[in-house]
C-alpha cells in the first residue's frame, strides 16, 4: 500500500464537486510517475472512534506535478483535507 494525502476539493471558479478530490502521493513529483497510479483503488479512513471508510478510484492526473484526481463513492467531510489515505 502507498501513502498519500488529500489536498483539496476539485473546484472551479463558482463550482465545487463534492465527490472529486485532489491527492498528493509521497515521492511522486511528475506526470509520468503519477500515471502509474491511474485506476487504482483508494480508501480514506476517518480518525474518529467509528472508523468510517470511504472508497474511491483514481481517475486521472491533475497538472504536471504528480497530483491526482480521485472520485469517491460519496463525498468526504471537509475535515479530510490534509489527512492521509491509502492506495491499494
Nearest-5° Cα angle at 41, 8 to 77: 35
Question: Between the CA atoms of 5, 28, 63 and 80, what dihedral angle is there, to the nearest 10 degrees?
Answer: 0
pTM: 0.88
2-87 placed in CATH 3.40.50.1110: no
Question: Between the CA atoms of 29, 30, 33 and 39, what dihedral angle is there, to the nearest 10 degrees?
Answer: 100
Cα gap 23→42, rounded to integer Å: 10
pLDDT in tens, the chain (88 residues): 788 999 998 888 898 888 999 999 988 999 999 999 999 999 999 988 899 999 999 999 998 999 999 999 999 998 999 999 999 9
Per-domain boundaries in the chain? 2-87
Amino acid at each position: 500500500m502507498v501513502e498519500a494525502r488529500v489536498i483539496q476539493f476539485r473546484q472551479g471558479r463558482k463550482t465545487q464537486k463534492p465527490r472529486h478530490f485532489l491527492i498528493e502521493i509521497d515521492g511522486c513529483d511528475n506526470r509520468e510517475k503519477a500515471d502509474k497510479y491511474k485506476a487504482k483503488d483508494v480508501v480514506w479512513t476517518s480518525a474518529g472512534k467509528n472508523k468510517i471508510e470511504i472508497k474511491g478510484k483514481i481517475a486521472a492526473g491533475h497538472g504536471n506535478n504528480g497530483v491526482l484526481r480521485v472520485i469517491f463513492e460519496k463525498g468526504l467531510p471537509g475535515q479530510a483535507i490534509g489527512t492521509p489515505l491509502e492506495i491499494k
